[in-house]
């Protein structure tokens, strides 16, 4: 009888001990592993507001604006607002168009030459028309167009990076 009681107590203490460890370990494990099942990098590749529509000249002159991602998140770390790139925006009859300011040749920053009325990359002298098409120079493709839309008077852009040096526009 005493032996049975001792066995029962051993089993009960084992069950209680295991439950206590599980109760403590499960939430901790869940907290550590949470990003594994979540989308952990946010910001780049999403439509983000970049500038008010009114700030874009109605005469078709392009403007260069930074793309700032609010509180991007990378795994466990939430970062302060971060500038992830810059885009050119231009009003056209078909609406606001957006292009990455990264040159598809070797990745330099593209300028806008107002006197010439063209985009220009100073590194190896690639020139682009105002619709982003290559006008001259070594750039293997036109400027990379980006998805854009207007919501509540704000222009939103989906900023993405593409491979440089390729004739086709491929995700980087």
Q: Give min distance, CB of 102 to ligand FES, in A.
A: 9
Q: Is residue 102 at the binding interface for ligand FES, with CB under 6 A as the rule?
A: no
Structure tokens at 71: 């509180």
Tell me, residue by residue from 107 to 126, as one string, x for binding to ligand FES by CB under 6 A and - for no binding: xx------------x-xx-x
Give me the DSSP letters along 126-162: EEE-TTS-EEESS-SS---EE-EEEETTEEEEE---B
89 vs 102, beta carbon nearer ligand FES: 102
Rounded CA separation 108/102 (Å): 6
Rounded CA separation 69/49 (Å): 9
Q: Give min distance, CB of 57 to ligand FES, in A.
A: 25
Q: Is residue 89 at the binding interface for ligand FES, with CB under 6 A as the rule?
A: no
Q: Is residue 134 at the binding interface for ligand FES, with CB under 6 A as the rule?
A: no
By the criterion CB under 6 A, which residues form the site for ligand FES? Answer: 103, 105-108, 121, 123-124, 126, 137-139
């Amino acid at each position: 009888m005493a032996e049975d009681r001792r066995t029962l107590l051993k089993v009960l203490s084992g069950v209680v001990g295991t439950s206590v460890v599980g109760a403590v370990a499960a939430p901790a494990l869940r907290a550590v592993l949470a990003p594994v099942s979540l989308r952990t990098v946010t910001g780049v590749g999403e439509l983000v507001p970049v500038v008010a529509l009114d700030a874009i000249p109605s005469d078709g002159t392009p403007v260069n604006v930074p793309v700032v991602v609010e509180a991007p998140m990378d795994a466990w770390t939430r970062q302060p607002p971060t500038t992830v790139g810059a885009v050119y925006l231009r009003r056209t009859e078909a609406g606001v168009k957006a292009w990455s300011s990264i040159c598809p040749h070797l990745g330099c920053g593209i300028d806008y030459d107002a006197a010439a009325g063209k985009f220009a990359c100073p590194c190896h002298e690639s020139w682009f028309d105002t619709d982003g098409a290559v006008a001259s120079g070594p750039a293997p493709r036109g400027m990379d167009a980006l998805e854009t839309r207007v919501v509540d008077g704000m222009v939103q852009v989906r900023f993405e990076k593409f491979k440089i040096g390729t004739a086709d526009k491929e995700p980087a």
